[in-house]
Structure 1
């Protein structure tokens, strides 16, 4: 300040401030290369938004095409219903500037959609294709919005005989769609600039197929609209409405084919259209399930697993002892936080089974005790699986109900304002349309209502289909289960059903047992037939003896894969070390059983005892790396010495993040793959052992010959 007046700041003084502001803004952006291994976030922006834009883009193009091929203003000739089921009206020519700008907007919309598809196929770089799509769709939005506003100002239809046509309202809908799609694509680009995901659309082949199916379906609607416009003598917009009602199996009856040619064309057109619609709906449903599972259900599993993981006290105590021994401190001197840190570190860098194996191998703890503790962890993970299954089904149903409610009620509001209906009648009409009843007592008649119905129905009916699918997995399944339970006691009584039910009431069960024994005494039968002198009933041959007899009876009496005996933990803990021949036989039978389970196609879940048997065959090659489930718990000493790690065999903890119960494959598929790997390892080790034996024999022979020569 000089002479009491403030000093004037020069542009040179503003430069550092502007540079600092720009640096702060630039520091917020972390653009990633096209391919990297870093985790991705913003799953809605990275996955759902691109797919929604690609699926709804062709629908916006359809509305833009309708706006171009028809006049935007109509003259009402008669208020009686014509061939199209609404007033008889005819369009008159628009100003030339309306047609020209409308054509340019259509070109912008189609080219923007093409660049979006090229982006999906990675034919054009993300950083180029996506901005081009956004800019072109914003241009199409601006042109259509300007046209509709300018026409209403400078050359509006003059009532009461002139009205806006379906083409005008199609232009309004197209402008809204282009604007919404451009806006959500900008959100996707923002996520890329913030480094939430790489510069590409991470879509699967099925999701890309959905884009092609939706494009083909929209093209099929346009082809049908052009055909039935000629055959039925209606406008292009009414032809599109007729095709939409036909393919969606609504059948309102307000637009019908009156000629033989029209009726003959409906059959092939409807069949192919319904097939394409079914493919689109199925792909949408599959995509919704995948996105929901990958981004909601998996997080639920991880939260449950992490919570259970942190509460695993027995294993924490084991690691507390290890850490205390390493520091030469008593276990009580370590805090719980130190134990958890050690446990997590050891879990991520070294299989958890090593500690258990050391304790079991060193004789400090019985094998059966170790197996029972591990079974608790297995049961905890199995409980998480069942809880997740219920969560997924009911959460999917809840989301479907919300989506259905939004589409139903919001659509009813629009039809209430556009058509001559009360809100209750609009709700009734929308509901009949959603479940494809199509009574035809209420139908869209206005020029604004029909284009909106075409767009709304293509969104609403797939939503209803997904709701019905979710209900079949929850409510319908519960009703079916209840019906089967009821039939077990009434129509088709199941053997022993009442006896098992009465087993819940011991005093009633004892009453019937005493009554039955009195009847047997009265008939002269000896009470307790088959009982020995000690009063214990004769239970017949044991399961193990029966299975042994079956195995010794020869191949003709070999049991099917499903008749494999279920062994207890005590039997597994006493299991002896198999010979190489027995090991090969066990591998063959295990592969046979799991192959049978895979062929059935069901998501079968094995018990812990079955997992112990399978993992004993999966991880058998190295005595230094026995698995917790079988090798460590059973202390099996294998004759081979090949390191499992070079074959990629997994060592896991049941509630760890590498648990096979979290795999994408079903349990039979996962086990079958690992058993086949185990068979390959077994063959390679046997070949190596045979080669070593031959080499040893050769060396021995040469040594003997050398001694004789000397």
Structure 2
């Protein structure tokens, strides 16, 4: 007992000194994002693929006899497998069971059926056991039961075992890194995954199971071995259509109809989930860091300007000037309910100061949008290039007589799902690798096309729009507006031509249109936005007028939100929204009635409370311009909150009146 105590005490001291394990319900900040999120997600989505390769390694022999005088459809000699040793089959089955059970433990960990500290070590241990068994089997078969060339060769099952062992080992190392982050206290005892990421895991598992089912079906109806059947199923679902393996039997052709459709739907769901996950990665780890750097620069500029202004303000004490940089940056919108005497000029200056902060955040927003599009495009091109060139390098090594340029050509045709069929994987080592590579490469190409459409197509549309404004394609827009204004005759002719074209198009769609109904100006009857001078001149409209404006603004904002366009509001529009959002605040009403002091710039410092979002900082972390929602959606939420507050206040007021009448009675 004494010896055990002496041994245990240094171990506990070492663990307490170097490890800071956190409980499952810990909600403290987390870091090591790659280890906490990306690694377990990659392990859960790749584990079933390793299981599939292990299944292929079990169901068919590892060695083939080559029959040189008989050829397949692609012209290669026919290969027929012969039985493996009993010990090889038994150990192979043991490896498959360990791999599947390890994957089950990992899934139970995600669903929190089994504790993290139990499930994750079990997954690592079982996958390492599978790796050791497969490595030992492949080495033993190569040394003691190696096929005799040139009439014998290793089959696809052997190379599937090699790939499966490599995947198991890679996944085990990744999970070890995840456990290291947990022991070091970077995240609690669970996987930090969203519902979409868990859905991706289930979708990937379902897709791999569908490939395995296809292999079982087509190996019987097409009369090919299981490895070729899985390869055929993969080529079918990816719409490559090489034609090296076909289904001449009518039954097999009939089964392809439902199998291909269901498989492509499942593949589309997987690619869509991967695309969303990649967007989350890019936003959380690249875009947000870029915004944070830009915001810090804007805050430093704002603080320096504020410090210079405060040093010139004689009304501030030395202590206030000394702590200027420590004061939080807040938004200052003129409070429409304040009774503090403020002249119009002071209110206008406050609004203009706030507008400069708004313009700074708008510039950051636009620059970040460009940064997001182009960095995502560059990253997608880089990933595509790595997958393409490295895959071609492996095919060049595995295929006999294939040059590297031919391997690049083959990989490119596969990535774009062209599938000419003039170059296909033919060796027993290349086909299992192609299954794994294609399942990684096709989603990569899909995301690249999406990034190109988001960036290059946008630039192309902008360029064509510039060309159109300088030609007669769009005679009422762009530079022709300048010509129209400077040359009255040209302007009149353009307007008449435009009105005539609109009248003719309306007659074709709805019949004749009265000439008086043709709008006299492109703006139509859209209500005019108030200027800052108007807001400064009349900061406190009546509650009745503001309530009417609130209802009308909600109606217009709903139209903006449903338009399908990412509408951006001007600062003047935001000031109007802010006044409608804040006029229903009980705090503002109470402070206005009691003459509460404001923040010194005509604004009221408010935070988010049970009544909803009432105040924000334009260059702060909670700025509306940084929200994941569109601006109309964000504004609509705030306006509806204001409407709820207004209805509640009106109900409380009527209740108090009824109580007073009852007490008088």
TM-score, normalised relative to structure 1: 0.81
- Of residues 527, 530, 535, the one that matches 1:564 is 527
| Partner in structure 1 of residue 635 of structure 2 | 671
Task: Give, in angstroms, the shift of residue 197 of structure 1.
Answer: 1.1
- Of residues 292, 299, 304, the one that matches 2:289 is 299
- Alignment check: 8 A CA contact 1:34 1:198 kept: yes
Task: Give, in angstroms, the shift of residue 665 of structure 1.
Answer: 2.3
| Partner in structure 1 of residue 175 of structure 2 | 185
Matching of residues 184-263 of structure 1 within 5 Å: 184-263=174-253
Aligned residue pair count: 623
- Alignment check: 8 A CA contact 1:415 1:426 kept: yes
Indicate the larger mover: 594-603 or 366-375. 594-603
Matching of residues 509-658 of structure 1 within 5 Å: 563-575=526-538, 577-620=540-583, 621=585, 622-623=588-589, 645-658=609-622
Indicate the SS of the match to 1:74.
strand
- Alignment check: 8 A CA contact 2:130 2:168 kept: yes
Are 1:339 and 2:330 matched, yes or no? Answer: no
Q: 1:23 to 1:91 in 2, by over 3 A?
A: same
Structure 1: runs of 5+ lacking an equivalent: 1-10, 504-508, 521-559, 703-710
- Alignment check: 8 A CA contact 1:318 1:355 kept: no
Q: Which structure is larger by alpha-carbon Rg, 1 or 2?
A: 1
Task: Give, in angstroms, the shift of residue 398 of structure 1.
Answer: 1.0
Q: 1:645 to 1:149 in 2, by over 3 A?
A: closer
- Alignment check: 8 A CA contact 1:75 1:161 kept: yes
CA distance in 2, matches of 1:466, 1:498: 37
Indicate the larger mover: 563-572 or 80-89. 80-89
| Partner in structure 2 of residue 396 of structure 1 | 376
CA distance in 2, matches of 1:162, 1:323: 96
Q: 1:360 to 1:38 in 2, by over 3 A?
A: farther
Task: Give, in angstroms, the shift of residue 470 of structure 1.
Answer: 0.4
Q: 1:184 to 1:491 in 2, by over 3 A?
A: farther
Q: 1:607 to 1:498 in 2, by over 3 A?
A: closer
Deviation digits for residues 637-692 of structure 1 (CA, Å, limit 9, x no counterpart): 9xxxx998442433211112232222232222222122112112112222222233
Are 1:463 and 2:463 matched, yes or no? Answer: no
Matching of residues 86-235 of structure 1 within 5 Å: 86-235=76-225
| Partner in structure 1 of residue 496 of structure 2 | none
RMSD after superposition: 3.3
CA distance in 1, matches of 2:540, 2:336: 17
- Alignment check: 8 A CA contact 1:654 1:661 kept: yes
CA distance in 2, matches of 1:691, 1:19: 69
Indicate the SS of the match to 1:127.
helix
CA distance in 1, matches of 2:236, 2:199: 24
Matching of residues 281-430 of structure 1 within 5 Å: 281-312=271-302, 313-317=304-308, 325=316, 327=318, 331=321, 334=322, 338-340=323-325, 342-343=326-327, 346-347=328-329, 353=332, 361=340, 363=342, 366-420=346-400, 421-430=402-411
| Partner in structure 2 of residue 683 of structure 1 | 647
| Partner in structure 2 of residue 492 of structure 1 | 473
Q: 1:267 to 1:633 in 2, by over 3 A?
A: farther
CA distance in 2, matches of 1:128, 1:376: 56
Task: Give, in angstroms, the shift of residue 263 of structure 1.
Answer: 1.7
Task: Give, in angstroms, the shift of residue 323 of structure 1.
Answer: 11
CA distance in 2, matches of 1:496, 1:398: 34
- Alignment check: 8 A CA contact 1:319 1:339 kept: yes
Indicate the SS of the match to 2:81.
strand
| Partner in structure 1 of residue 656 of structure 2 | 692
CA distance in 2, matches of 1:66, 1:454: 12
Are 1:269 and 2:249 matched, yes or no? Answer: no
CA distance in 2, matches of 1:634, 1:462: 54
- Alignment check: 8 A CA contact 2:108 2:119 kept: yes
Task: Give, in angstroms, the shift of residue 143 of structure 1.
Answer: 0.5
Structure 2: runs of 5+ lacking an equivalent: 494-522, 593-597
- Alignment check: 8 A CA contact 2:336 2:579 kept: no
Q: 1:328 to 1:394 in 2, by over 3 A?
A: closer
- Alignment check: 8 A CA contact 2:470 2:478 kept: yes
Indicate the SS of the match to 2:36.
helix
Task: Give, in angstroms, the shift of residue 203 of structure 1.
Answer: 1.2
- Alignment check: 8 A CA contact 1:228 1:239 kept: yes
| Partner in structure 2 of residue 546 of structure 1 | none
Task: Give, in angstroms, the shift of residue 583 of structure 1.
Answer: 2.2
Q: 1:183 to 1:78 in 2, by over 3 A?
A: same
Q: 1:562 to 1:302 in 2, by over 3 A?
A: farther
Deviation digits for residues 245-289 of structure 1 (CA, Å, limit 9, x no counterpart): 111111111111112222222122111111111111111111111
TM-score, normalised relative to structure 2: 0.86
Task: Give, in angstroms, the shift of residue 114 of structure 1.
Answer: 0.8
Task: Give, in angstroms, the shift of residue 563 of structure 1.
Answer: 2.3
- Alignment check: 8 A CA contact 2:333 2:351 kept: no
- Of residues 43, 58, 64, the one that matches 2:33 is 43
CA distance in 1, matches of 2:74, 2:85: 26
Higher normalized contact order (CA 8 Å, seq sep 6+, divided by chain length): 2
Q: 1:88 to 1:44 in 2, by over 3 A?
A: same
Indicate the SS of the match to 1:196.
coil
Q: 1:389 to 1:562 in 2, by over 3 A?
A: farther
- Alignment check: 8 A CA contact 1:569 1:609 kept: yes
Task: Give, in angstroms, the shift of residue 597 of structure 1.
Answer: 1.9
| Partner in structure 1 of residue 464 of structure 2 | 483
CA distance in 1, matches of 2:599, 2:531: 17
CA distance in 2, matches of 1:461, 1:66: 22
- Alignment check: 8 A CA contact 1:562 1:593 kept: no
Q: 1:80 to 1:324 in 2, by over 3 A?
A: farther
Task: Give, in angstroms, the shift of residue 469 of structure 1.
Answer: 0.5
